[in-house]
Amino acid sequence: MTAKNEGARAPAPAPAGALPADASPAERVQWLRAELDRHSYQYYVLDAPTIPDADYDALFSELQALETEHPDLLTDDSPTQRVGGAPLAAFDTVRHRVPMLSLNNGFEDEDVVNFDRRCAQGLGRTAVAAPADDLFSAAEADDNGVEYSCELKFDGLAMSLRYEDGRLVQAATRGDGETGEDVTANVRTIKAIPLKLRGKAPAVLEVRGEVFMYRADFDKLNARQAEAGEKTFVNPRNAAAGSLRQLDPRITARRPLSFFAYGLGELEGAERPPTHAVMLDGFAALGLPVCDERRVVKGAQGLLSFHRDIGARRDQLPYDIDGVVYKVNAIPEQEQLGFVSRAPRFALAHKFPAQEMTTTVEDIEVQVGRTGAITPVARLAPVFVGGVTVTNATLHNEDEIRRKDVHVGDTVIVRRAGDVIPEVVAVVLERRPADARAFVMPTACPVCGSHVEKLEGEAVARCTGGLICAAQRKQALIHFAQRRAMDIDGLGDKIVEQLVDMGVVRTPADLYKLGVAKLAALDRMADKSATNLVAAIDKSRSTTLNRFIFALGIRHVGEATAKDLAKHFGKLDNLLAADEAALLEVNDVGPVVAQSIAGFLAESHNVEVIEQLRAAGVHWPESEPTARAPLPLAGKTIVLTGTLPTLSREDAKEKLEAAGAKVAGSVSKKTDYVVAGAEAGSKLEKAQALGVPVLDEDGMLKLLADAGEGEPQ
C-alpha cells in the first residue's frame, strides 16, 4: 500500500470577528491587517479566495488611509508596506548559515531504482527493487521500502526566507550556495510570501523554496511589456529572474511573482519536524504557500508512478516544472544518509526531457501552404528537445522574424512543449557570428515564381499563383484527398508530390482520370497498390455535399462551415449562385468568410474544376435548402451607441439581428447606420465624420417596420 497525503491542507482560518463601532484607530488598524492577512492566506495558500478583489482593495485603502492619518501606527509588517524605500545601488551579500545545496539528477527509470537501492542500503535495509526489466510489472508497491516525499521540481529561482519571531527579516538568493544576494526589498513585494507568519512561529525559521511565475501571469506580463514597447521575456523562469534582479523594488512589485516552500534552513526555538511531509504541512499552517502536487510513497515503484503521473499532466500544470524531486521522508533518515560533496544523498531530481534547448539556425527557408501562405521555417542543427529530435521550427511570418531578430547563423532557443510544433523562442545575441545573415522575404514564390503579396493588416505573405503554383497544388490535393474530405485512402503526400511534379495531375479533377498503368509507373508503387488507389478514387465519387465543399479548400471554410453551407443551401448550384449577402445569411458565416467564398467562386478556374469534378461523376445526395428568404436587413451593419429612450441596448440589438442585420461594436466606412441615443459619444462623432446615416430610436423602429413589410413571414 502507498501512503498518501495528496493536497494536505491547513484548515481555513476563522474570520477576525466583527469590530465594535466605537473601536479605536489602533484597534481598527489591527483588525484590518488581520483581515487582509487572512484573505491573502485564503488566496495564496489555500487557493480558495473568500472575497472579490474589489472588497480586498477597499479594506486595503482603508488601512492605507488610517496609517497616513496615524503614522505612529505604521509597522513594517503591515500589508501596505510591501514596497518601501529608494532603489538600491547594489545588492548586499548574505552568508547562508545553512548552505543551499543542489540536487543530484536522474533521467532514466534505472537511475531511480539505483537511488532507491542506495538509500535502502545506506539505511541498513535491503532494497526489494524489481529487476530492471520488470520495472512496471510489480503490481504491489513495496510496503517495506524506504518512504519518500515526492514533489515537483519548479523551474524558478531558489530563495531563502528568514523569519525571526514570525517576521520576514531577510530574503536571499542561492548564489553559490555559501553566499547569495540580499533581495529582501524585492521579495517583500511578492504577495504570496507572508511578511508575518500565522500562529506560533519559531524564534528563527529559514524557509527555502522557489520563486516562480505562473504561465498565465507570464503571458499577461509579456503582453503588457509588448504593448508598452518594452522587452518581452523568453520564458517564465527568465521573467522571474529578471524581476528579482531589479534594484528598484517598485519594478519588482509590478511583476506577478509567486512562491512555493519546499525546504528548511536554520531553525531555532522549535523541534525539527519528524518527516519532510509534516514539515510541508507545517509551512502551510504558518501561511506559506506549499504546492498541492505532493505525495508520500514507498520504494522505487512509488517514485516511478509519481513521475509518470506528473509527466502525463506536465503540460496542463499552470507553471513550468523540469522534473520531480524525491526526498527521503523521515528527517532522521535524511540525517543518517547525509551529503556527498554538494548534494544530499537522500534526495534525487528526476528530470523530464528539457522543453527548451539551444541550437543553431543553418538556414531560413520558406514553405508555401495550400492557400499560398508563405511561412518562413528555420532549418536547425538537430537538437533533442521535448523528447524528440527537432530539425525545423516555424518562424510564423516576417514580422515575427523581425520581432525576434532571427538571423541565419544565430544560436537560438528552441521550445517544444507537448504536441505543439517546435518554435524559436529567442536568439542568444551574444553568440551571433560576424557573418550572420538577415532573412529577406522573397518577392517571388520560390516554387512557381508568381508575385508574393502581403495585404495590409495581414501578417502573412502569400503567393498569388493559386493553382498554377505546384506547392499550392500539392497542398490542395493533399487537402482534397484527406480522410475528413474526399477520403481517398492511399493518396499520400509522396504520391501527390510525384503526380504534380510529373505534370500528370494539376487539379483534383485530374485524379479521376488516373488509370492503374499511370499510377503503377510511380516510384514505390506496385500494381496492387495502384489498383487499390484507383478503387479508392472511384469510391470517393460518392460523397456528401459538406465533404465536397470542405474538400475544395476554400480559405476560412473548415469542416464546420462546410456543414453549415451544405445545410443552408442544400444544393451545390444554390451555393454557386450565392453572392456575399446571401452567404452572410448562413449560420456562423461572417464578412471575412463570406468574402473568401465569394472570391473563390468568382475565379473561373475554380468553377471549372468544380464542373469537371461533377462531370467525372463526383456526386452527393442533394436536399432542399433550409434557408429562408433573405431577411430584410441582411448584409446591413448597424452600430448602437448611447442610451435609447425606450429600448434597452439588448432589446434593440435583438430586434435588428432578428431582421438580419449585423450589430457591430465600432463605426467604419462599412457601417450602414448608426443608431444613437442620449449621451452618444465618439461613435456618433465618427459616424458624422464618415457620413454614415444616423438614426434615433424612432428612425430605427421605422427602418424595421419598412423592412418588415417586405418580409415574407
Site for ligand IVH in 517-576 (CB under 6 A): none
What is the β-pairing status of strands 411-415 and 407-408?
unpaired
Closer residue to ligand IVH (CB): 153 or 198:
153
563 is in an annotated binding site: no
Q: Which stretch binds ligand IVH (CB under 6 A): 100-108, 135-143, 223-231, 246-254?
A: 100-108
Closest-CA residue to 472 (of 578, 352, 606): 606
Question: Which residue in the set 39, 174, 295, 415 belongs to the binding site for ligand IVH (CB under 6 A)?
Answer: 174
Using CB under 6 A as the criterion, what x/- string covers residues 308-337 for binding ligand IVH? -----------------x------------
Residue 454 backbone dihedrals phi, psi, to 5 degrees: -125, 115
Q: How far is the CB of 159 from ligand IVH (least distance, A)?
A: 8
Annotate 239-250 with b (16+ C-beta within 10 A) or e (fewer): bbbebbebeebe
Sign of CA dihedral 197, 200, 203, 208: negative
Please list, residue by residue across 592-616, b when 16 or more beta carbons sit within 10 angstroms of its beta carbon and e when fewer do. Answer: ebbebbbebbeeeebeebbebbeeb
Instruction: For CA atoms 630, 636, 641, 645, give the dihedral sign.
Output: negative
Cα gap 413→358, rounded to integer Å: 4
Considering beta carbons, is residue 303 or 467 the nearer one to ligand IVH?
303
Q: In the set 32, 46, 101, 703, which binds ligand IVH (CB under 6 A)?
A: 101
- Kind and range of the H or E run holding 147: strand 147-154
351 is in an annotated binding site: yes
By 3-state DSSP, what share of the chain in percent is helix, strand and coil, each rounded to 5?
A: 35, 20, 40
AA identity, residue 231? K
β-pairing, 694-695 vs 258-268, is: unpaired
Q: Quick one: CA dihedral 581, 587, 591, 595, positive or negative? A: negative
Residue whose CB is less far from ligand IVH, 101 or 288: 101
Least distance from ligand IVH to the Cβ atom of residue 102, Å: 4
The three three-digit cell numbers of residue 135, written as one number: 520495472
Give the single-character DSSP code of 330: B
Contact 122, 337 (CB under 8 A): yes
Spatial distance between the Cα atoms of 142 and 675, rounded to a whole number of angstroms: 74
Residues in the chain: 713
Grid coordinates 441582411 are at which residue?
Answer: 634
Planar angle of CA 278, 283, 288, nearest 5 degrees:
155
Q: Smallest gap, in angstroms, from Cβ of residue 281 to ligand IVH?
A: 15
Residue 151 is labelled as binding a ligand: yes
Q: Which residue, judged by CB position, is nearest to ligand IVH in the bound state? A: 158
Least Å from the CB of residue 309 to ligand IVH: 16
Q: What is the footprint of ligand IVH within residues 124-153 (CB under 6 A)?
A: 151-153
Tell how strand 356-368 and strand 411-415 pair up: antiparallel
Q: Which of 217, 204, 214, 218 is nearest to 160 (CA)?
A: 204
Known binder of ligand: residue 445? yes
The C-alpha atoms of residue 671 and residue 690 are separated, in whole angstroms, by 9
Q: How far is the CB of 101 from ligand IVH (least distance, A)?
A: 4
Contact 596, 557 (CB under 8 A): yes
> Interface with ligand IVH by CB under 6 A: which range of 18-26, 67-75, 96-104, 114-122?
96-104
Count of residues engaged in binding ligand IVH, rule: CB under 6 A: 16
231 labelled catalytic:
no
Looking at the Cβ atoms of 233 and 346, the one nearer to ligand IVH is 346
**Which residue intervals of 314-439 are DSSP H helices?**
331-337, 398-404
Does 327 show up as a binding residue in the annotation? yes
Look at residues 486, 474, 9, 545 and name the one whose alpha carbon lies nearest to residue 283: 9
| Cβ atoms of residues 609 and 480 within 8 Å | no
Q: Give dist(CA 191, CA 568) in Å, integer.
A: 54
CA–centroid distance for 269 within its chain: 45
Q: Is 463 annotated as a binding residue?
A: no
Strand partners, 663: 638
Closest by alpha carbon to 580, among 662, 466, 457, 690?
662
> Least distance (Å) from ligand IVH to the CB of residue 97?
15
- 330: which 3 cell numbers? 523521515
Is 250 annotated in a binding site? The answer is no
**Residue in 32, 46, 103, 554 binding ligand IVH, rule: CB under 6 A:** 103
Looking at 194-318, which runs of residues are DSSP E strands? 204-212, 258-268, 295-298
Of 151 and 398, the one with the shorter C-beta distance to ligand IVH is 151
The answer to the question of whether 210 is labelled as a binding residue is yes
Q: Which is nearer to ligand IVH, 152 or 190 (CB)?
A: 152
Helices and strands (H, E) in the chain, number of each type: 25, 26
Is 207 or 380 the residue whose CB approaches ligand IVH more closely? 207
Cβ closest to ligand IVH, residue 175 vs residue 625: 175
* Least distance CB 104 / ligand IVH (angstroms): 8
Query: Exactly one of 4, 153, 636, 702 is catalytic; which is it?
Result: 153
Determine if residue 4 is labeled as part of a ligand binding site: no
Q: Locate 148 and state its grid cell.
A: 519518500
Least separation in angstroms between residue 339's CB and ligand IVH is 8
> CB of 223: closest distance to ligand IVH in angstroms?
27
Which span sits near ligand IVH by CB under 6 A: 341-349, 542-550, 577-585, 661-669?
Answer: 341-349
- Tell me, residue by residue from 201 to 240, as one string, x for binding to ligand IVH by CB under 6 A and - for no binding: ---------x------------------------------
Q: Is 44 marked as a binding-site residue?
A: no
The alpha-helical segments, DSSP class H, found in 414-520 are 470-481, 493-501, 508-511, 516-520
Structural contact between residues 412 and 426, judged by C-beta atoms closer than 8 angstroms: yes
Binding residue (CB under 6 A) for ligand IVH from 262, 548, 550, 600: 262
Residue 262, marked binder = no
Comparing CA positions, the residue from 629, 649, 613 lying closest to residue 581 is 629
Is 54 annotated to bind ligand? Answer: yes
Minimum distance, C-beta of residue 25 to ligand IVH, in the bound complex (Å): 43
Between 106 and 263, name the residue whose CB sits nearer to ligand IVH.
Answer: 263
Out of 256, 263, 299, 660, the residue judged to bind ligand IVH by CB under 6 A: 263
**448 carries a ligand binding annotation:** yes
662 binds ligand IVH (CB under 6 A): no
Q: Which is nearer to ligand IVH, 260 or 569 (CB)?
A: 260
Task: Among 43, 56, 148, 154, indicate the residue that binds ligand IVH (CB under 6 A).
Answer: 154
Measured from the CB of residue 186, what is the shortest distance to ligand IVH in angstroms?
A: 17
Residue 196 known to bind ligand: no
Query: Which of the residues 343 through 402 are near ligand IVH (CB under 6 A)?
Result: 344, 347, 349
Binding mask 492-511 for ligand IVH (x = CB under 6 A): --------------------
The annotation status of 88 as a binding-site residue, yes or no, is no
For ligand IVH, the binding residues (CB under 6 A) are: 101-103, 151-154, 158, 174, 210, 262-263, 325, 344, 347, 349
Binding-site positions for NAD(+): 53-57, 102-103, 151, 174, 210, 327, 351
Binding-site positions for Zn(2+): 445, 448, 469
Q: Write out the catalytic residue numbers.
A: 153
Binding-site positions: 53-57, 102-103, 151, 174, 210, 327, 351, 445, 448, 469
